[in-house]
Amino acid sequence: MAVPFSAAFVPAFFARPAGAQATDLATLLDELADPQQERWMRIERQILREWGQSGSATIDYLFQRGQEALQAGQAETAISHFSAVIDYAPDFAEAWNGRATAYFLANRLGQSLSDIEQVLRLNPHHFGALAGLGQIMEQLERDQDALRAYRASLAIHPHQQGVIDAMRRLELASEGQAL
């Protein structure tokens, strides 16, 4: 099955998130993008904490239940929790990302791709969604698409060792192929 991959999946890097916290988040993203940043782990945690807050205690509770199910390896339960969050808060990108991850773990790649597209529509700076997109493209043996997604993720967050390793692996594999 061919899964469509479009430039719409790869965000415009100069767009900034909307909302009251946009300036702080934009500053954090700028700091994270610096390859020489020594405090990147702290900055990454701050960004993920901001992204993980819906603004509603009830939604945050349901979201946390989905996260716990993911951590316990219960993909179907996580899908149910994240779907409930999406029903009530369709603009909460992290719920889409959580469900995309759960779909990936359940080997439901088409649904995972669809949710990643939503994540990137809502939050074009979501380096985790871009890395996940790369993993799916790699699994589908679409190495050039995987490399594009990995590069986009690293442009936002250049400190992701797993993504760096995946890119090296793909680049080494492609060096052995005739052009």
- Over residues 65-85, the pLDDT tens digits come to 999 999 999 999 999 999 999
Residue 37's pLDDT is what? 94
pLDDT the model gives residue 19: 44
Is pLDDT larger for residue 127 or for residue 3? Answer: 127
pTM: 0.85
Q: What is the per-residue pLDDT for 21?
A: 54
The residue segments making up the domain with residue 65 are 47-124
- 138 with 111, same domain: the answer is no
Q: What is the dihedral sign for C-alpha 165, 157, 135, 60? A: positive
Domain count along the chain: 2
- C-alpha–C-alpha distance, residues 157 and 151, integer Å: 10
For residue 72, the domain's CATH number is 1.25.40.10
